[in-house]
Each structure stands twice: as structure tokens, then as C-alpha cells.
């Protein structure tokens, strides 16, 4: 049994197939007394707001019920490990005193090793699965930012500076991934970043040494500059 007060899964009321998909991926969880569905209405006017508010409303509900810690899944989450491995890992986390969120599946840009099972987050993306310290986190009303950007990239400086986000951590190695799907049921945009197939252990190790986002950006600039020079030379 997970040592967690409650586990929620966000599933839009009309997304029957996504609900079925989650049930197939987490059969042990959905039959547990600590599990609960959260079924929001689709926000057709502003899907980013709809996603953000789903996460925020669960936090408010958890505070109302006096929960201490919860797990939030989005319905396209998929385990990369066995259920028992997941439970054992969660139950044996050495929680930092200042922790607010612990990402369970994510794409890291810059991290720092904290202990044998956690990295501290400087910048990352994805909010499809995380543990939340209900009384230590604060989620304001929607201000235009997507939920993962609010949590894990609060401003552009975190892309470039090696400074840790206060209370933000990631499980090491990652244990969940977003499943491939044509389109998010909350956002109108396809989000491939969380579904990328990559060696997560290697990527996390790299992210503890360099800023991956900045590195990719610099390599892209070098490539474009080289291409321009080559074309200019060839046709001069």
C-alpha cells in the first residue's frame, strides 16, 4: 500500500478511452481505497486554463480534506517500472525538509543530485505525475502559465542559471512517461516532449552536469551559423 493520503487521476468526463487506458495501466491502483478520479469539464475556451485549474482544484480539495501528501496523475501516464517497484520507491523516499513537489515523470533540463533517489530541479517540464506536499505548496489562480511552467520554469532565468527551485525535486530515475496520443484532451496542442523515447538515466545524469535546454540551443545556433557560412561560401 502506498504511504500517501490520496491518489488522484485527472480525466475529462468525456474522455472514456483515456479513462480505460489508465485503468489498464494501473489495475492495482484503481482498486485501492486511496484512489479517486477527478473528472473536470473540458474548457473549450482556454484549454491551458482548464488543465491548470484541474491541478489547482485538486490541491484545494486536498487542503479542504486535510491531506498532507497526495499524488496527481494525468490520465495519459504510464509506468516504466512494475507497480511493486513504484510502491517501494515512493514509500522509501527520504523527503527533504523543504519539499513541495516531487516529479515522478519528467523531461529534465537542469538538475542537481540531492540523494540516491532524488534530484533537485532547476528547470524541467511535464506535470503528468508528481507527489505534492499539500501544506507546503501554493497554486494561485490561473495567470496564463501552463501548470508545469508555473511549477518548474517560473521565469526564463532558470533555463540559464544553475539555481535550484525551492522545494522542487524529481525522482531518480524517472518512473513514468506520458503515453503517445494524437492530442491532449486538455490542451489543443500535441505535447510530444513527455512521450519522447530516450535513455532517461543517461539524460538525467547529463542534466546534472549541463543545462540541456541551453546546450541544445547553442548547438542549434552553431548548426545554423555553419549552414549559412557554407551556403555563402558555395555561392560566392
- pLDDT in 10s for each residue of the chain, 236 residues: 899 999 999 999 999 999 999 999 999 999 999 999 999 999 999 999 999 999 999 999 999 999 999 999 999 999 989 999 999 999 999 999 999 999 998 887 777 888 988 988 877 878 899 999 999 999 999 999 899 888 887 665 555 555 567 899 999 888 888 765 545 554 444 444 443 444 455 555 555 545 555 556 667 677 778 878 767 776 66
Report H helices in 94-135.
none
Architecture of domain 6-234: Alpha-Beta Complex (3.90)
48 within 8 A of 58, measured Cβ to Cβ: no
Give the start-to-end residue ranges of the domains of the chain: 6-234
- How far apart CA 82 and CA 100 sit, in angstroms, is 25
Predicted model pTM: 0.78
Write the burial class of residue 220 (CB in 10 Å: 0-12 exposed, 13-18 middle, 19+ buried): exposed
Give me the DSSP letters along 139-159. --S--S--HHHHHH-SSTHHH
- How far apart CA 160 and CA 178 sit, in angstroms, is 26
Q: How many CB atoms lie within 10 A of CB 45?
A: 7
pLDDT in tens, 185-231: 544 444 444 434 444 555 555 555 455 555 566 676 777 788 787 67
128 within 8 A of 134, measured Cβ to Cβ: no
Amino acid at each position: 500500500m502506498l504511504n500517501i493520503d490520496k491518489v488522484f487521476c485527472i480525466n475529462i468526463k468525456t474522455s472514456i478511452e483515456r479513462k480505460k487506458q489508465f485503468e489498464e495501466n494501473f489495475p492495482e491502483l484503481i482498486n485501492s481505497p486511496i484512489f479517486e478520479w477527478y473528472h473536470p469539464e473540458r474548457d473549450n475556451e482556454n484549454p491551458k486554463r482548464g488543465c491548470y485549474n484541474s491541478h489547482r482544484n485538486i490541491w484545494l480539495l486536498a487542503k479542504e480534506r486535510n491531506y498532507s501528501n497526495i499524488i496527481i496523475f494525468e490520465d495519459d501516464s504510464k509506468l516504466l517500472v512494475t507497480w511493486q517497484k513504484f510502491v517501494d520507491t515512493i514509500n522509501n523516499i527520504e523527503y527533504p525538509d523543504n519539499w513541495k513537489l516531487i516529479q515522478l515523470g519528467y523531461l529534465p533540463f537542469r538538475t542537481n543530485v540531492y540523494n540516491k533517489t532524488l534530484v533537485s530541479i532547476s528547470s524541467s517540464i511535464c506535470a503528468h505525475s508528481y507527489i505534492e506536499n499539500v501544506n507546503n505548496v501554493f497554486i494561485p489562480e490561473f495567470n496564463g502559465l501552463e501548470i508545469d511552467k508555473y511549477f518548474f520554469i517560473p521565469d526564463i532565468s532558470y533555463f540559464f542559471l544553475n539555481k535550484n527551485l525551492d522545494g522542487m525535486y524529481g525522482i531518480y530515475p524517472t518512473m513514468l512517461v506520458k503515453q503517445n496520443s494524437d492530442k491532449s484532451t486538455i490542451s489543443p496542442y500535441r505535447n510530444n516532449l513527455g512521450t519522447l523515447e530516450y535513455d532517461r538515466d543517461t539524460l538525467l545524469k547529463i542534466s546534472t552536469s549541463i543545462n540541456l535546454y541551453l546546450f541544445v540551443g547553442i548547438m542549434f545556433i552553431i548548426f545554423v551559423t555553419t549552414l549559412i557560412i557554407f551556403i555563402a561560401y558555395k555561392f560566392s
